[in-house]
Amino acid sequence: MNIARALVLDPKLLVLDEPVSALDKSVQAQVLNLLQDLKAERALTYVFISHDLNVIEYVSGRVLVMYLGEVVETGTADALAQSPKHPYTQALFASAPSLDPDHRMERPPLAGDPPNPIDPPSGCRFRTRCAFAMPRCAQARQHMRMGRAAIFVSLALSICVAPLAAHAQQPAGPPPQIQAAQTFLMTWGSQKWDELKAVAADTVTVKVGPGTYTLQPAAQKSDVQLTLPFRGLSTVRTDGKITGVKVDEMALKMGDKEMRGPGMVDLKEENGAFRVTGVSATSTPQ
C-alpha cells in the first residue's frame, strides 16, 4: 500500500527509510525484488537508508557511508564490500556476525560510545573512536565534494544512492605505510587471506614476548591470531627510512592465552609499495 501511494504521482526519485527492517526474511526478499522491478520499469532512482549491509549491497548501485551526520566514504557497493578504506566502514563490515564457529567475533570492532550529535567533536567526528587518529584530526576535517544530484541524509547510518546520484571524490587516505599496516591488521584479524596476501610477505614472523610464531597467508596458516580492534598507528623511521608502523595497542591470541599491549609492524618497500615482513609485540597476559 505504501509503495503504491508513493508511485501515484509518477515520481522519478523515492526516499526509502528502512523500508524492510520490520519484515521477516521471506517477505523482505519479496519487497526488495518488487522494488528492483519497479526501478527498472519506471526508471526510478532510490535513496535507500538501511542498517542492513546485505540489503545495501543487494539494492544499491552507489553507497554513501555516514557517521554522525557526515559522509565518511563513498563508492560502488561491490568496492566498499570488498575493500572498505575508512576505519568506520571497516568496522561496519567487521561487525557482521559470522556463521563459522571458528571465526566468531570476540571483541567489538569499535570501542567507546558515539559522541553527542548536538555537540560533535572538532575536526573529524570519528576521531574519538578511531584507532588511527592523529593530532591533526582534531584540527580540521576532510571535505568531500559532491555533485549537485547528491543527497545528504543526516543519519549515522549507511546511506545508499542509486546509480543516478552524482559521483563523489574520496578524501585523501592515510600515508601508504599506514594504509599497508592498517590493511594487514584488519585482514589478519578477520582472516581475509586473499587480501592479506596482497600486503604481507610469504612468511611473516610474529614475536610475542619471548615466543616466535609464523603467519603464512598463502597457506591460510597463523600460529597466533590478532584480535580486533587495535588502536593507534604511527610511522617508524630508521636513518630517515620508513621501516615500520608502531601500534599503540593490539591483542594477540595463542591458543587459550591472550596477550595485550603495544606492538610493531615491520615493513619492506618493494616497487613503491609496502609489504609486512614481521610483527613484534610487548604484551601482558589478559
Lowest-pLDDT choice from 134-148, 152-166, 203-217: 152-166
The per-residue pLDDT for 187 is: 86
The separation between CA 4 and the C-alpha centre of its own chain, rounded to angstroms, equals 36
- Assess whether pLDDT exceeds 50 at residue 152: no
Q: In percent, how much of the chain has pLDDT > 70?
A: 84
Per-residue pLDDT reduced to its tens digit, 75-126? 888 888 778 888 888 888 887 776 667 666 677 777 778 888 888 888 888 8
DSSP per-residue codes, 2-66: HHHHHHTT--SEEEEESTTTTS-HHHHHHHHHHHHHHHHHHT-EEEEEES-HHHHHHH-SEEEEE
* Nearest partner of 76 among 160, 148, 10, judged by Cα: 160
* Nearest partner of 124 among 155, 158, 88, 159, judged by Cα: 88
Tell me the sheet residues that pair with 268: 275
Lowest-pLDDT choice from 169-173, 229-233, 244-248: 169-173
Q: Domains along the chain?
A: 2-161 (3.40.50.300), 176-285 (3.10.450.50)
Lowest-pLDDT choice from 58-67, 90-99, 154-163: 154-163
**Three-class SS of residue 118?**
coil
